[in-house]
Amino acid sequence: MAPTETVSSEKQPGELQTPAMPTPDLKANSPDLTASRASSATPSGPVLRYSAQNTFWQFMLVFVADLRRYQYALNSFVVNALAKKYRRSVLGFTWSLLGPLLTMAVLTVVFGTLFKRDMHQYALYILSGLLPWSFMSQSIINGSQALINNETMLRRSYLPKFFFPTVSTASEAVSLSLNLVCLFALALAIGAQLSWCIVALPLVIAVTYVFTLGAALIAAIATVYFRDLTHILTVLLGACFYLVPIVYPESMLPENIRGLVALNPFYHFICLFRSILYLRQFPTPLEWSSALLLAVLCLLAGLYLVKLRQNDIIFRL
């Protein structure tokens, strides 16, 4: 097809009404207008603009706007995901509480006997590490499937690419919060004291959520390109479980490798939970800042990957 035969349709067909077309102005302003779907709130509806060239800053604006725009969609997907998970099971949602409790019981009995520890304190120790750990690892594994499992949805309607990883991470976060309530009940039942430090818990959950969301986004996009990654992640995270002091006390590690534990990013978040729930004290500023830094970096890395790949993903699903 010779290009000369292509009819340029910039001009209006003569018989139609021709409102003053703002085409030239828009073109002149196009850098400002790029990604302006966020900012404009004309009564006639949002301006959506799709183009290949976007800076990361513009992408971030769109990200924030999309978070607000799809707020209700995110909520309802999370509710549906949780409802579907436990629909028709006899104990329903209690399973998400029973699961970690039973795991904790097994671990406490096995390792408590092995390490000859006081069972009451040890149960609390394990649970305070196990809950954030299972939140992070489950979110990453589910997140790696999030884009692939929702291929049809992504192909048929416009949804931002971060949507499904965010949904899977958020539903895990809801489970975590409910599990924590269960933990408090247990702590009171076994006579442990809860300090007023738990007021910082929402903040800790938020920081952990930010980190996990970043990791889930990276996992989601990487899995689109390498489908085997889900299986690899399952194995790697299973190994990681024993690299972080969850079932064993940190003091058991030999002095010379204790420093290496800090290289594990998960360690910092488990530290936050542990110091509040088990040690009953505020995390040190160092613990706060290292976790916060990690979380922000991880989320930025995840979002940057989304920005790089968001136009390509749909063709690779």
Partner 1 sequence: MSPHILINNASLRFRLYKSSANLKESFISRLRRGQSKDTVEDFDVLKDINLTFSAGDRVGIIGLNGAGKSTLLKMITGIYQPLSGWVEVRGNIMPLIELTAGFDPELSGRENIYLSGAILGRTREQIAEYEQDVVEFSELGDFINVPIKYYSSGMLGRLAFSVGTMCKPEILLVDEVLSTGDAEFVAKATNRMMDLLSSSQIVVLVSHNLDHVQNLCNRAIILHQGQVVADGPPAAMIDYYMEEISKAGTDKNADAIGQRGGGKLFQTAPPSEQWTVPMKLQAVMDIIAGTRTVEQVAIEANVETATVETWLKNGTRGMRNGLRARPLSIEEQYQAQIDRLEKRVQALEEENARLRASSTDACAEAVVPLAQGVPSAISGSLPLA
Under the criterion CB under 8 A, does residue 24 sit at the interface with partner 1?
Answer: no
| Cβ 162 to partner 1 shortest distance, Å | 14
Q: State the amino acid at position 250 in one-letter form.
A: E
Under the criterion CB under 8 A, does residue 235 sit at the interface with partner 1?
Answer: no
Report how far apart, in Å, the C-alpha atoms of 77 and of each of 82, 224, 303 are.
9, 21, 21
Under the criterion CB under 8 A, does residue 26 sit at the interface with partner 1?
Answer: yes
Token pair 């009953």 in the structure block, residue: 280
Residues in the chain: 317
Nearer to partner 1, 40 or 264 (CB): 40
Q: Give every CB contact of residue 232 below 8 A, 6+ residues apart in sequence.
A: none
In angstroms, the CA 92 to CA 90 distance is 5
7-15, 97-105, 258-266, 273-281 -> range binding partner 1 (CB under 8 A): 7-15
Nearer to partner 1, 157 or 251 (CB): 157
| Cβ 238 to partner 1 shortest distance, Å | 18
74-82, 128-136, 164-172, 269-277 -> range binding partner 1 (CB under 8 A): 74-82
Burial string for 45-69 (b: 16+ CB within 10 Å, else e) reads eeeebeeeebeeebbbbbbebbeee
| Cβ 311 to partner 1 shortest distance, Å | 4
Are the C-beta atoms of residues 128 and 142 closer than 8 Å to each other? Answer: no
Pair of tokens at residue 278: 């088990």
| Cβ 156 to partner 1 shortest distance, Å | 3
Give the x-and-dash track for 169-198 against partner 1 (CB under 8 A): ------------------------------
Under the criterion CB under 8 A, does residue 23 sit at the interface with partner 1?
Answer: yes
Q: Which of 116, 107, 140 is nearest to 240 (CA)?
A: 140
Under the criterion CB under 8 A, does residue 33 sit at the interface with partner 1?
Answer: yes
Pair of tokens at residue 217: 């986004």
Q: Applying CB under 8 A, which residues contact partner 1?
A: 1, 3, 5-10, 12-19, 21-23, 26-27, 30, 33-34, 42, 44-52, 69-73, 76-77, 80, 84, 87, 152-159, 225-229, 232, 310-312, 314-316
